[in-house]
Amino acid sequence: MRLNNKIFSSAATILATLSLGLLTTQTVHAQSITLRKGYDYMTLPYIRQKGRFINANKEIKIKNYKFYGQPILTKGKKVFYINATTSYLINQGRYYYLGNGGYIKQDNASVKGNTYVLTHNSYIYGKNGKRLKTFRGKRAYLTANTQIKSGVRNEYYRTPYTYYNIGKNTYIQSDQIAKVNGKGVLFVSQNSSVYNSRGQRQKRVIKAGRLVPYAGKVRDKSSQYFYVANDNENHVRSIKNYKIKGNYYFRIGKNKYIKANNVNAINGNPLYTKGPIKVKIIADTYAYNKDLQMIDKLYKKGQTVIADQMVRFGDGDYTTSYYRVKGGKNPVYLDTRLYEDSYIEGPYVWSGEESENNSTLVKQYLGSQDYYQLRYTVANFKKGQGVFYNVNGQKVDYKFSGDELAVNQKLYLWNAKENKAELYYHVQNSLVYQAGAEDERQNTAISNLYIKASEFTISGRKLKTSNTEAEAQADSELATASEKATLTSSISDASSVKNSIKYRLDNWVNRSLYNQAVENARTVASDKNATKAAVKEALWQVDFAKKNLKGAKVKVKDINNLTPIEAQQVLNVMRQAYNGSHAVVGVYQKWAHKPGYYPAEGWKGNQKTRYYLLPGNGAKKVLLKFSDFATEK
């Protein structure tokens, strides 16, 4: 199970140390901590210098250690998530805020601390994107190299930790600890009241950054709140969740409970939830549709939304994740700025890459789901390279190129030579996870091939078995002429289908799937030895492939004045429509000092930008019409 997480930190460390009786009080009995196990058997401890805890320049083994004195609770680092680098979206352009209602274009300035340094001469704009006449009593214009302070109010959170002294000025941070005095512990991420079994608040408050032992045992199963063991198997584990008056709790003693929302780790492992969770929008950001393409729906800084799912797309360095916003028939998604290879630095869960334009902030890890698993029924080889079969259950030679397979039908096939029926899946297409910038593989349609259920593991969307073993045996007989005629009739409209928008503007995989289904139907219809099963399957494949065509024009507000997002959507449709045709769609712009249009990186506006089809055979480029790919709402 792969799950996404990202913790980022910045700014100076501000420490305030307090002597606390954390889990224990000072006694003559030996006290110990057990470090969290992981892939590595060494960890970096901390040393204390001038009241600050800094990483030691040495590693120590992961094992049990005695600790001395009282654990030290710190306020922790200030982590700024809104500052001068936070930008605002105005008319689909990004701006920095100067204060007093003034904005400058992000491309015209660099950020130095809390100050903008103008890299170009720049006008100052209002909140609607129109140039201001005056700003702070002067002309609303700044020259290059001008320095001006940001008007953004800094916002931050803290990451409090507890440090355990294991001797010789060596300390262990609480996020590295799985047990204290042999007991499993919860990491408390914010000040948390203790409740009784009725959900009534008690007087005791547990401070943020502390470790507290939990009651009960770890179970090898998932719950509403769970964690993934940091081992080679990535086992999903949990302790018992208690639901009291609509909230989830962990038990920390007799009639003592703490809200699960206030805990960020169990036994040193980050805590996940099945959701929903609250997501704070910390920078203006546009949403994405179900195909993870940006749409013209803006979420403004300061909004709070509820996310009920995290979708993960890609693999390794090329994995990104999106929050699905709860509600609506057509759900939208927000870029989480989380990456699959993100290193877990601690139990704090404040999402967002440590760079400019972070868009979301959350206090919990939301368990993620693979994009392909949500859209397809996915098959994985159990051992090595799997074997493929035809409709009669006979092995065929097919070289598979991909990472996984999408299957779309579950059925019994009859093997006349072996005189038995077995369970199979019909293959729809290959699924590819990009592994690098130079990885040019893509999903590929695969028609009229089957895989044996016993040789694969199946996940994702569930399929019902479409026939019985007895029906599979009956369909092993030869097909009649009338049955083949039905098959021929099913592809009589192939020409009109291929001329339709649903076909022409769909992606290459879906078009190929239909093409292969039509070709297979013709082959089966002309085969005198075709079985009833072959005819039924060919009919099913044509019907599925036809219904699976979903090409459509982009809906825009004004086809003669596209916005940058609309232009990108149109470009995406153009490129998928010509994918596989040995031609590419290029962006060209018109420059004032030269006649004609020249290759460019992106959209500048309808009067300055054109999309051309560039044939691979060196033929003259062809101007593409927006009206062939877009329509007004």
Is 507 or 357 the better-scoring residue by pLDDT?
Answer: 507
The answer to whether residue 5 scores a pLDDT higher than 50 is no
**H/E element holding 332?**
none
User: Do 220 and 237 contact (CB within 8 A), yes or no?
Assistant: yes
- Rounded to an integer, the average pLDDT of 491-497 is 97
Residues 498 and 411 in one domain: yes
Percent of the residues in the chain that have a pLDDT greater than 70, as a whole number: 91
**Any idea what DSSP says for residue 106?**
G
Domain boundary among 133, 153, 173: 153
Band (348; pLDDT cuts 50, 70, 90): low
Same structural domain for residues 501 and 352?
Answer: no
Residue 53 main-chain phi, psi, to 5 deg: -100, 120
> What three-state secondary structure class fits 483?
helix
Cis peptide before 160 (omega within 30 of 0): no
What pLDDT is recorded for position 175?
85
Sheet containing strand 147-149, strands side by side: 109-112, 115-118, 147-149
Tell me the mean pLDDT in the region 205-227: 94
pLDDT score of 40 more than 80: no
Amino acid identity at 250: F
Note the residue count of the chain. Answer: 633
- Exposed (0-12), middle (13-18) or buried (19+): which is 147, by Cβ within 10 Å? exposed
CB 226 within 8 A of CB 248: no
DSSP string over 188-214: E-S-EEEE-TTS-EEEEEEPTT-EEE-
Mean pLDDT, residues 72-77: 90
Residue 333 has pLDDT above 80, yes or no: yes
493 inside domain: yes
Mean pLDDT value of segment 510-530: 96
Q: What is the pLDDT, as a whole number, of residue 438?
A: 80
Do the beta carbons of residue 263 and residue 187 sit within 8 Å? yes
- Given a cut of 90, whether residue 527 has pLDDT beyond it is yes
pLDDT of residue 159: 86
Q: What pLDDT was estimated at residue 339?
A: 54
- Of the listed ranges 23-37, 353-367, 591-605, the one predicted with least confidence: 23-37
- Domain edge (last residue) among 339, 373, 407: 373
Find the mean pLDDT for residues 404-426.
96
Global pTM? Answer: 0.85
Q: Is residue 159 part of a domain?
A: no
Same domain, 407 and 539: yes
Let me know whether 417 and 558 are in one domain: no
pLDDT at 3 over 60: no
Residues 368 and 381 in one domain: no
Q: What's the CA gap between 2 and 432, in Å, rounded?
A: 17
Name the phi and psi angles at 16, rounded to 5.
-135, 105
Helices 508-525 and 532-547, axial angle in degrees (round to 10):
150
Q: What pairing do the DSSP bridges indicate for beta strands 554-556 and 630-632?
A: parallel
Same domain membership, residue 605 and residue 582: yes
In the predicted structure, residue 606 carries a pLDDT above the cut 90:
no
- On whether the CB atoms of residues 268 and 227 are closer than 8 A, the answer is no
Query: Is residue 352's pLDDT more than 80?
Result: no
Q: Could you write out the DSSP letters of every residue in 74-87?
A: ---EEEEEESTT--
Q: Is residue 403 part of a domain?
A: yes
pLDDT of residue 410: 98
Residue 399 to residue 121: CA distance in whole angstroms: 58
Q: Rounded distance, CA 171 to CA 330, Å?
A: 51
Whole-number average pLDDT of the chain? 89
d(CA 359, CA 336): 7
The CA distance from 297 to 469, in Å, is: 50
CB-based contacts of 178: which residues, under 8 Å, 6+ apart?
Answer: 34, 35, 36, 37, 184, 185, 267, 268, 269
Asked whether the predicted pLDDT for residue 64 surpasses 50, the reply is: yes
Q: How many domains does one find in the chain?
A: 4
Residue 616 falls within a domain, yes or no? yes
Comparing 4-8, 212-216, 455-459, the range with the smallest average pLDDT is 4-8
What residue type is 280 in one-letter code?
K
pLDDT category at 147 given cuts 50, 70, 90 is very high
| Residue 592 sits in the same domain as residue 484 | no
Residue 66, in any domain of the structure: no
The radius of gyration of the chain's CA atoms, rounded to the nearest angstrom, is 30
| pLDDT score, position 488 | 96
- Would 438 be classed as within a structural domain? yes
**617: pLDDT strictly greater than 70:** yes
Q: Tokens representing 219?
A: 């179970």
Q: Looking at the predicted structure, is the pLDDT value of residue 511 above 80? A: yes
pLDDT at 29: 54
Residue 8's pLDDT band (cuts 50, 70, 90): very low
CB contact at 8 A, 445 and 407: no
Do residues 516 and 623 share a domain?
no
Question: What's the pLDDT at 338?
Answer: 65
Last residue of a domain, one of 305, 339, 373: 373
Measured between alpha carbons, how far is 85 from 358 in angstroms, rounded to an integer? 9
Whether 436 shows a pLDDT value over 80: the answer reads no
The residues, ordered by sequence, that sit 6+ positions from 509 with a Cβ below 8 Å of its Cβ are: 429, 442, 443, 444, 445
By residue range, what is the domain housing residue 283? 277-373
Number of Cβ within a 10 Å radius of residue 421: 21
Report the SS3 class of residue 503. helix
Whether residues 561 and 501 share a domain: the answer is no
Domain annotation covers residue 378: yes
Q: Are residues 482 and 570 in the same domain?
A: no
pLDDT band at 21 (very low <50, low <70, confident <90, very high): very low
Whether residue 347 is predicted with pLDDT greater than 60 in this model: the reply is no
Other beta carbons within 10 Å of 597: 18
**Cβ atoms 454, 445 nearer than 8 A:** no
pLDDT for residue 1? 40
pLDDT in tens, 304-331: 999 999 999 888 777 888 999 998 788 8
pLDDT of residue 235: 85
More confident residue, 323 or 79: 323
| pLDDT of amino acid 41 | 82
E-only strand ranges, 11-50: 18-19, 32-35, 42-43, 46-49
Longest dimension (CA), the chain: 93
Q: Are residues 338 and 317 in the same domain?
A: yes
Residue type, 99: G
Reduce the DSSP state of residue 292 to 3 states and report it: coil
Per-residue CA distances from 584 to 502, 510, 605 (Å): 20, 19, 21
Distance CA 144, CA 121 (A): 5
- CB of 352 within 8 A of CB of 360? yes
One domain, residues 389 and 510: yes
Whether the per-residue pLDDT at 7 is higher than 60: the answer is: no
Q: Which amino acid is at 500?
A: S
The answer to whether residue 58 is domain-embedded is: no
Residues 6+ apart with CB under 8 A from 476: 392, 414, 416, 531, 532, 533
